[in-house]
Structure 1
Amino acid sequence: MDKLSAMEVFVRVVESGSFVRAAERLGMSTTAVSRQLADLEAQLGARLLQRTTRRLHLTDAGRGYHARCAQILADVEEADASVRTDTLRPRGVLRLSAPVSFGLKHLTALLPAYLAAYPEVTLDVDMSDRQVDLVEEGFDVALRIAMRLPPTLVARRIAAIHVVPCASPAYLAREGEPARPEDLARHRCLVYTHAAEPGIWTFGDEARVSVDGPLKSNNGDLLRAAALAGEGIICEPSFLLGDDLAAGRLMPLLRGEPTPPLALYAVYPSRRHLSAKVRTFVDFLIGRIGDPPPWDAWMEMAEPRRSGPEGF
């Protein structure tokens, strides 16, 4: 059995939704298509498709295997194209997953420029704060903000992300400014519930502070709006707060107490060959965002303020 040919048969059957239409696309008989798929399932020792009189359904094993096969076939097609042409043009659908707040605040301005530079690429963007399964769900690339990433993923670092505790001038005038992390326990803190440990803010290597307050949410934009209204202290990523910090609408706190370092990464399934559309997209983001990124310009403008005897 030709394994690559059997993979193509499997992928075309899934795409077509029937053995007959797949056979027509491949220029094969329906019997030959059915035999190749049966041989592939026998070699794998797993059923890939459930067949009924009306429809075909992927099994759980079939869904993961289909995503892998589709990528392998795309890589083979791209490798062939690279031999036939001097330059490889990015083309096709690029499926992207990105965090909601980052996507709305920064990707909205960047994506039109990428499409203008690469008109043969179509973007399919899913904005969600959950961590998608790239292979299972068929994403080409995902943007993630993290300290570290699983070793199963290939990743490129795009830019630093700083988590900044801050509050509005009105709140600080009314409630005072914390001089050290443990002071946060007596303040009104606005809690992001989608964090790994909601209600725990970390400083340095060991300082872990339990915080609470009048508002909790899984959306950073909502918490930012509440902080701007003087409702309390937030501890959110700089990409969300940079403009407010630069304009003085929010004031950074505890400047001498570093929060854990994060970074924005582009991640994609581990494989030897990247498609041109993924490679150019990641290069584009790195070139346009830069490191340090524009959302951290406030860090050069703001001087640490002394609010306590130890100079915090």
Structure 2
Amino acid sequence: MSRLPDLEAWAAFAKVVERGSFAQAAEDLGVSKTTVSKMITRLEERMRASLLHRTTRKLSLTETGRLSLERAQRILADGAAIEADILEEAAVPRGTVRMACATGLGVQALSPVLPEFLHLYPDVIVDLNLSEDEIDIVSEGYDLVIRIGESPDSTMRASRLFSFRRPLVGAPHLIERIGVPDHPADLAKYPTIVATNVSWGRTWEFTSQDGESVSTTVNGVYRVNHAAAVVDASVAGIGLALVPEFFMWQQLRDGQLTELLTGWSAPLVSVYMMTPPGRARPARVRVLMEFLRDHFAGQAWAVGIEC
């Protein structure tokens, strides 16, 4: 296998010719004059040809050096341009953010606020994919993934966005008809609505204020794979349901649903912002993450916002 080209030395060669001396080139490059001299010598030994005529008074190009100069200058210019673009990308919010989020969370909580972000940052484009599929952030080229629950991939950078409650709720007219459960174990006797697309599904876990834990399996008179449909059925009085609060806080506020078993709570569920491994996030990603933190910090149903 051929060795990689000595791009550093070619760039140094172009800088020496531009400045007309090893000392001034070294000053521009932030290295010693000896280091620059060694890079040029290394390059000439590799090429088996001289690139510069050196005298005590001046430098001049050999024929090989003259033929090589234009391409060496391009190497120097292209390298500087790449670094400038990356530094600008890291500092200025501009460009496309490829983003993915679970469908329910995205439709209910995320997509309604993104237009405000786009008004604030007109040079940023958001490419949002709403999907229930497991996303491979790196191989699929995503900048930001909003994920419910922690990612099993510890190589990703994870930042908790917020956590949410899952209250047990029921429609007032249903509760009036069937009564109120006194204990989570009673739920097996009540009509329930089951979300089939989540890990808690038919097994509902609760912890009391005294620390008692109970796990109850419910049958479900209605089973559906989207929380919005669970909320609709709950309001219609089909059964009791365990629902993420961000899906039905308005129905709770308006009295269409009533929270039950308030002395018990289901475990909180966390939502994470996942980004690819690496130390620096581009400005367009940083400002979007900051915007989302600020927005969800103002939501009454969002628990444990991290700054």
User: Is contact 2:89-2:282 (8 Å) kept?
Assistant: no
1:265 aligned to 2:265? Answer: no
Q: Which residue of 1 aligns with 2:137?
A: 134
User: Is contact 2:90-2:281 (8 Å) kept?
Assistant: no
Aligned partner (choices 274, 278, 281) of residue 288 of structure 2: 281
1:170 aligned to 2:177? Answer: no
Aligned partner (choices 225, 228, 232) of residue 232 of structure 2: 225
Structure 1 distance, partners of 2:81, 2:244, is: 40
Q: CA shift at 1:88, angstroms?
A: 2.0
- Deviation per CA, 1:171-219, whole angstroms, max 9, x where unpaired? 1011111111101000111111112242101112741110012211111
User: Is contact 1:141-1:266 (8 Å) kept?
Assistant: yes
Superposed, 1:25-36 pairs within 5 Å as none
Secondary structure, counterpart of 1:231 in structure 2: coil
1:294 aligned to 2:300? Answer: yes
1:80 aligned to 2:80? Answer: no
**Aligned-pair RMSD on alpha carbons?**
2.6
User: Is contact 1:78-1:275 (8 Å) kept?
Assistant: no
Secondary structure, counterpart of 1:280 in structure 2: helix
User: Is contact 1:100-1:127 (8 Å) kept?
Assistant: yes
User: Is contact 2:89-2:283 (8 Å) kept?
Assistant: no
Structure 1 distance, partners of 2:4, 2:290, is: 36
Aligned partner (choices 116, 121, 128) of residue 118 of structure 1: 121
Q: CA shift at 1:158, angstroms?
A: 1.8
User: Is contact 2:202-2:220 (8 Å) kept?
Assistant: no
Paired residue type of 2:300: P
Secondary structure, counterpart of 2:104 in structure 1: helix
- Deviation per CA, 1:212-246, whole angstroms, max 9, x where unpaired? 12211111111110110000011011110111111
Secondary structure, counterpart of 1:159 in structure 2: strand
Secondary structure, counterpart of 1:230 in structure 2: coil
Structure 1 distance, partners of 2:254, 2:226, is: 22
User: Is contact 1:243-1:295 (8 Å) kept?
Assistant: no
Q: CA shift at 1:80, angstroms?
A: 3.3
User: Is contact 1:164-1:252 (8 Å) kept?
Assistant: yes
Secondary structure, counterpart of 2:261 in structure 1: coil
User: Is contact 2:167-2:260 (8 Å) kept?
Assistant: yes
Runs of 4+ in 1 over 4 A off after TM superposition: 76-79
Structure 2 distance, partners of 1:138, 1:87, is: 18
Q: Which residue of 2 aligns with 1:160?
A: 163
Q: Once the two structures are aligned, what percentage of the paired residues are identical?
A: 28
TM-score normalised to the size of structure 2? Answer: 0.67
Superposed, 1:197-216 pairs within 5 Å as 197-204=200-207, 206-216=213-223
- Deviation per CA, 1:248-289, whole angstroms, max 9, x where unpaired? 111111111121112222111222111111111100001122
User: Is contact 1:164-1:237 (8 Å) kept?
Assistant: yes
Q: Which residue of 2 aligns with 1:252?
A: 259
1:91 aligned to 2:94? Answer: yes
Secondary structure, counterpart of 2:110 in structure 1: helix
User: Is contact 2:170-2:258 (8 Å) kept?
Assistant: yes
Structure 2 distance, partners of 1:158, 1:78, is: 33
Q: CA shift at 1:96, angstroms?
A: 1.0
Paired residue type of 1:114: F
Aligned partner (choices 160, 166, 190) of residue 193 of structure 2: 190
Q: Which residue of 2 aligns with 1:303?
A: none
Larger Rg: 2
Secondary structure, counterpart of 1:226 in structure 2: helix
TM-score normalised to the size of structure 1? Answer: 0.66
Structure 1 distance, partners of 2:177, 2:248, is: 21
- Deviation per CA, 1:119-148, whole angstroms, max 9, x where unpaired? 1111111112333111122211111222x4
Structure 2 distance, partners of 1:233, 1:274, is: 43
CA 1:77 to 1:217, structure 2 compared with 1: closer, same or farther past 3 Å? farther
Structure 2 distance, partners of 1:164, 1:260, is: 10
Count residues with an aligned counterpart: 224
Structure 1 distance, partners of 2:228, 2:217, is: 22
User: Is contact 1:91-1:120 (8 Å) kept?
Assistant: yes
Paired residue type of 1:244: Q
